[in-house]
Amino acid sequence: MPAQQQLRNKTVPPYAPKKGEEYMNKKQLAHFRSILEALKLELGQDIDRTVHTMQDEATVFADPNDRASQESDMALELRNRDRERKLIKKIDETIAKIDSKDYGYCESCGVEIGLKRLEARPTATLCIDCKTLDELREKQLAK
């Protein structure tokens, strides 16, 4: 998700693994926890800002076109915030995986997801191969 990457780059630099370093060691887990917590904090602030803005702009327009435009804008904003709320839930689930030391491994096949993939999408639960297969199945079912 581009929002994850954009938000993460503001606060936490990418992890630079050392040669021979164990996968998902304490440093790596702490690194990804800090990315996820920063992302969650920023998403929460965005949601709060939207709520306050919508309350401030809750004007009743006499013109039906203005009212329709305002309702359309609010509906779009609410859809975006709902997406962010779902991402916050996924972040909480991912942090729980870090706590249980299950983070960084594919839920489907059990292999390492990989640091680069997790840097790009810290909430990833599938390795790139399983995700690709999942997307292919999804495409075939959509036809």
List Cβ<8 Å contacts ≥24 apart for 49-57: 50/77, 50/80, 50/81
**DSSP string across 117-137:** HHHH-TT--S-HHHHHHHHHH
Asked whether 103 and 24 are in contact (CB, 8 A), the reply is yes
**Taking the model in full, what pTM does it have?**
0.80
Model pLDDT, residue 5: 45
As averages over each run of 10 residues, the pLDDT of the chain (143 residues) reads 48 87 96 95 86 71 81 87 93 97 96 96 96 95 80
Model pLDDT, residue 37: 95
Q: Which two tokens stand for residue 2?
A: 């581009």
Task: Give, for 46, the enclosing helix (H) or strand (E).
Answer: helix 26-56
